[in-house]
Amino acid sequence: MSWFTWKKAGIFAGGVLFGSAGLKVLAGRDAKRVYTHCVAAGLRAKDSAMDAVTNIQENFEDIVEEAKLINEERELEEEFWDDFDEFDDEDFWDDEECDCSEYDGEEAVDKK
């Protein structure tokens, strides 16, 4: 029995004794109270974190909606200036196409 020594047997017995005592302490009423308070604190922390996440999501949704509005306004402005550029052609404003003889001063003259 070269594998058996009293030192190893003593370590094993001490571990069993310590484990048994540990289980008694962990299963005691005071320990359960500590566990309950730790779990309650964890649940409060989770609720606080979820509130923060919800707040961030709401703010993000607002930011996205505002960004969409800004982009729509820019598109409309670009379309306006693109349409305006069509009238910027010199041929469009050419006075030769206008028959100004129809007008007498500021009032239009009826040719009937």
Is the CB of residue 50 less than 8 Å from the CB of residue 44? Answer: no
Token pair for residue 100?
Answer: 């100004």
Residue 64: the pLDDT is 94
CA triple 102-107-110, angle to 5 deg: 50
Q: What is the pLDDT of residues 10-60, one digit of tens each?
A: 888 888 877 877 777 777 888 889 889 999 999 999 999 999 999 999 999
Q: What is the mean pLDDT of the chain?
A: 79
Name the pTM for this structure. 0.42
Residue with tokens 């505002």: 66
Cα separation values, 87 from 78, 82, 90, 93, 97, Å = 15, 9, 8, 8, 15
With a CB cutoff of 8 Å and minimum separation 6, the contacts of 86 are: 92
